[in-house]
């Protein structure tokens, strides 16, 4: 299938003579993310990447800890890239480091994943709960 410039419904024709498991359109699967492009090559960390993938198969929340500069963010971003096709609603990077108050976290998450917030309403709780329950985030 050719490039899709926008998110669009796609249908697969099912027939016994056709392959059943066609790959996702690559343009679409690569679009659903906001992962920052890295300007340097990723080095090593094969074991840690495997561990992250394995843990994320069952864990809803995974925290990488270590001293500043040891490569936590880079490892997380690499793992996120590798898991892009596993999450139907995409994989999103939320930069929390510049936030000074915990109350700002929901807004930062909402704006990263493209959820519209309405003035006077608390962030779309229904959407969060539904997505969380279905394992989409
Ligand atoms: N596996 C890696 N391959 C290449 N560069 C890396 C790797 N891990 C870390 N770096 C680089 O080292 C620097 C610090 O890494 P970073 O992930 O920001 O650390 P942390 O989040 O633990 O503070 C960044 O410039 C990052 O790109
Ligand atoms: Mg970091």
Q: Is residue 120's pLDDT more than 70?
A: no
Q: Is 91 helix (H, G, I), strand (E, B) or coil?
A: strand
Q: What pTM does this model have?
A: 0.73
Spatial CA neighbour of 96 closest among 82, 110, 84:
110
Cα(129)–Cα(137) distance, integer angstroms: 10
| Least distant ligand from the CA of 38 | 1
For residue 123, is pLDDT > 60? no
Our answer on whether the CB atom of 77 is closer than 6 Å to any ligand 1 atom is no
Chain position carrying tokens 């056709």: 18
CA distances from 70 to 4, 5, 99 (A): 38, 37, 22
Establish whether residue 71 lines the binding site of ligand 1, counting it when its CB lies within 6 angstroms of any ligand atom.
Answer: yes
User: What is the per-residue pLDDT across 12-50, written as a single tens digit (0 to 9) for each?
Assistant: 888 888 887 777 665 555 668 889 988 999 999 999 999
Q: What is the pLDDT of residue 88?
A: 84
Answer yes or no: are the C-beta atoms of 100 and 59 closer than 8 Å: no
Q: How far is the CA of 30 from the centre of ligand 2 (A)?
A: 23
Q: Tell me the C-alpha distance between 87 and 89, whole Å.
A: 6
Domain ranges of the chain: 24-93, 95-137
What is Dmax (Cα atoms) for the chain?
Answer: 58
Rg (alpha carbons) of the chain, rounded to whole number: 18
């Amino acid at each position: 299938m050719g490039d899709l410039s926008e998110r669009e419904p796609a249908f697969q024709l099912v027939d016994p003579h056709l392959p059943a498991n066609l790959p996702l359109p690559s343009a679409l699967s690569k679009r659903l993310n906001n992962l920052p492009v890295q300007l340097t090559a990723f080095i090593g960390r094969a074991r840690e990447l495997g561990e992250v993938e394995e843990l994320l198969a069952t864990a809803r929340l995974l925290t990488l800890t270590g001293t500043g500069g040891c490569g936590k963010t880079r490892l997380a971003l690499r793992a996120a890239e590798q898991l892009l096709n596993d999450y139907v609603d995409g994989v999103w990077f939320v930069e929390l480091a510049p936030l000074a108050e915990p109350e700002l976290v929901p807004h930062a998450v909402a704006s990263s994943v493209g959820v519209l917030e309405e003035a006077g309403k608390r962030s779309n709780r229904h959407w969060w709960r539904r997505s969380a329950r279905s394992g989409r985030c």
